[in-house]
């Protein structure tokens, strides 16, 4: 990790970078430790809305000028909001790093938040919300986390609600931006052919405000409860998730859950893919997921199938769960899973944006740069006995919540 460096400026801005000399490009991310988890019922969706609004212009640049300045040099700008962070990032050739840095630093520090822009963008975001509601394979994950994180702000959807989106105005956005986009809440992450000293120099020049810390803390009280939910939609297929909460990034056992999740339903060699799709042809989509946050994760199995086969697919999933709870995984299968994770991890690092994201994630979740080797060593250390013990806990049918999205006709048949 000699090519990775961390610096914290006196005003609280943290900089992490990885120098890769053989490249001709970079990925630069401006990360704020703010997301849907830090909202309340009245302003849920504001982090995501501000992410949209920061592209609408600053005191010195219009929206068109922001995109032109980057794209005229073959660069790329984008952003995303998660439940714990908001990131604004750019890619480009190394010779244009300073230009990208300046534009991004202007965007995040000097937003206009004009009411006319807000009204227009509210329509765009509501369209995005409607798209999610029309896509059961997207909507079901939001609803599942609402279910398993009930009582905690992690249950809030990132996009928010239509009522909240329509309520945002310039004053509300400026207040939230001032409180959340503090310098001590900013992490600048870079991967590519850029020297760390260059990043520090630019950060010192373009972030000149004073340190302004906050005592805001995230609630980490979770009520572990088993809940079932059926949502009616006019759709052809039945979409379902069976799952629960489990270990977050700050728990060492998360690596074991990652191995278990991969073994169960990641890739066409996984147990569920083989049992449900390959052997029986009962579903096109079936996979496990592990959505991890600092102190907790949402884990489960997602599948879509026709109404006639839904119960049968559910039975097979539970049967596979039972096998893992009672029969130790064979060394050959466990090794295949570990190699699969290793291959995916290493191949993802051929992309500088993935590398930059990994650096930021490492700082937010562990407070330091965790090497790829260290992560893979922890995966490699997982034993068959670990998987058996973890399965007894995580794959216990009595601790699993279930969510189904299906048509009204299917609801009537289930009730009959």
pLDDT tens for 99-141 read: 999 999 999 999 999 999 999 999 999 999 999 999 999 999 9
User: Does the pLDDT value for residue 220 go beyond 90?
Assistant: no
Query: Six-digit token pair at 111?
Result: 């937003």
In the prediction, which pLDDT does 230 show?
A: 96
Q: What percent of the chain has pLDDT over 90?
A: 93
Residues 6+ apart with CB under 8 A from 60: 106, 110
User: Does the pLDDT value for residue 415 go beyond 80?
Assistant: no
Alpha-helical segments (H) within 149-252: 162-167, 170-180, 196-206
pTM for this one? 0.94
pLDDT per position as a tens digit, 346-374: 999 999 999 999 999 999 999 999 999 99
CA distance 47 to 340: 35
- pLDDT range class, residue 177, cuts 50, 70, 90: very high
In the prediction, which pLDDT does 76 show?
A: 97
* 75 located within any domain: yes
* Domains held by the chain: number: 2
51 is catalytic: yes
* 220 located within any domain: no
* 219 located within any domain: no
User: Does the pLDDT value for residue 412 go beyond 50?
Assistant: no
What CATH number is associated with residue 385?
Answer: 3.30.830.10
Q: What are phi and psi of 182, to 5 degrees?
A: -80, 155
In the prediction, which pLDDT does 128 show?
A: 98
- pLDDT range class, residue 408, cuts 50, 70, 90: confident
In the prediction, which pLDDT does 167 show?
A: 98
Are residues 273 and 403 part of one domain? yes
In the prediction, which pLDDT does 1 show?
A: 61
pLDDT per position as a tens digit, 55-78: 999 999 999 999 999 999 999 999
Q: Helix 115-133 and helix 46-53: axis angle, to 10°? A: 120
Show which of 206, 239, 262 is a domain's final residue: 206
- What's the whole-number mean pLDDT along residues 148-158? 95
* 409 located within any domain: yes
Nearest-CA neighbor of 364 among 2, 1, 6?
6
- pLDDT range class, residue 416, cuts 50, 70, 90: very low
Are residues 156 and 15 part of one domain? yes
Domain that holds residue 286: 228-415
User: Does the pLDDT value for residue 413 go beyond 80?
Assistant: no
Are residues 152 and 267 part of one domain? no
In the prediction, which pLDDT does 73 show?
A: 94
Are residues 185 and 150 part of one domain? yes
Are residues 197 and 295 part of one domain? no
* 223 located within any domain: no
Are residues 238 and 100 part of one domain? no
pLDDT per position as a tens digit, 279-320: 999 999 999 999 999 999 999 999 999 999 999 999 999 999
Are residues 108 and 147 part of one domain? yes
User: Does the pLDDT value for residue 213 go beyond 80?
Assistant: no
Quick check: 206 and 108 in contact, CB under 8 A? Answer: no
- What's the whole-number mean pLDDT along residues 230-259? 96
* 74 located within any domain: yes
The catalytic position among 51, 84, 145, 320 is: 51
Are residues 262 and 190 part of one domain? no
Are residues 195 and 138 part of one domain? yes
Q: In what order do the strands lie in the sheet with 186-192?
A: 4-8, 14-19, 186-192, 25-32, 86-93, 76-81
Are residues 284 and 201 part of one domain? no
Nearest-CA neighbor of 400 among 243, 248, 190, 258?
243
Are residues 235 and 195 part of one domain? no
* 358 located within any domain: yes
CA distance 147 to 222: 12
Are residues 175 and 64 part of one domain? yes
Residue with tokens 């973890």: 390
- What's the whole-number mean pLDDT along residues 170-192? 97
307 sits in which H/E element: helix 307-326
* 392 located within any domain: yes
């Amino acid at each position: 990790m000699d090519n990775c460096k961390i610096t914290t400026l006196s005003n609280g801005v943290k900089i992490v970078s990885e120098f890769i000399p053989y490249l001709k490009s970079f990925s630069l991310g401006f990360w704020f430790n703010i997301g849907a988890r830090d909202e309340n019922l009245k302003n849920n969706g504001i982090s995501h809305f501000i992410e949209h609004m920061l592209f609408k212009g600053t005191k010195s640049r219009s929206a068109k000028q922001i995109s032109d300045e980057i794209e005229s040099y073959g660069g790329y700008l984008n952003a995303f909001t998660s439940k714990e962070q908001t990131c604004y990032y750019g890619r480009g050739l190394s010779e244009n790093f300073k230009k990208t840095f300046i534009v991004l630093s202007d965007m995040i520090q000097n937003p206009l938040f004009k009411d006319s822009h807000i009204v227009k963008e509210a329509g765009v975001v509501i369209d995005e919300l409607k798209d999610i509601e029309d896509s059961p394979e997207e909507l079901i994950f939001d609803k599942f986390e609402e279910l398993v994180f009930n009582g905690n702000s992690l249950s809030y959807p990132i996009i928010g609600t239509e009522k909240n989106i329509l309520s945002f105005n310039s004053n509300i956005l400026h207040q939230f931006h001032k409180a959340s986009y503090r310098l001590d809440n900013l992490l600048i992450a870079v991967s590519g052919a850029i020297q760390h000293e260059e990043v520090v120099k630019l950060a010192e020049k373009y972030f000149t405000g004073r340190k302004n810390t906050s005592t805001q803390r995230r609630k980490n009280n979770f009520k572990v409860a088993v809940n079932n939910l059926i949502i009616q939609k006019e759709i052809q297929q039945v979409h379902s998730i069976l799952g629960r909460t489990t270990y977050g990034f700050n728990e060492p056992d998360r690596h074991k859950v990652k191995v278990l999740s991969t073994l169960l339903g990641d890739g066409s060699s996984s147990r569920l893919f083989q049992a449900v799709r390959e052997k029986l042809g009962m579903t096109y989509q079936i996979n496990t997921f592990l959505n991890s946050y600092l102190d907790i994760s949402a884990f489960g199995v997602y599948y879509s199938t026709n109404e006639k086969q839904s119960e049968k697919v559910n039975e097979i999933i539970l049967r596979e769960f039972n096998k893992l709870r009672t029969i130790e995984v064979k060394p050959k299968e466990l090794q295949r899973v570990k190699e699969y994770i290793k291959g995916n991890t290493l191949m993802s690092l051929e992309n500088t944006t993935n590398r930059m994201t990994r650096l930021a994630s490492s700082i937010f979740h562990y407070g330091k740069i965790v090497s790829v080797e260290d992560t893979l060593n922890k995966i490699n250390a997982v034993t068959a006995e670990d998987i058996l013990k973890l399965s007894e806990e995580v794959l216990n049918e009595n601790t699993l919540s279930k969510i189904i999205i299906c048509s009204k006709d299917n609801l009537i048949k289930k009730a009959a």
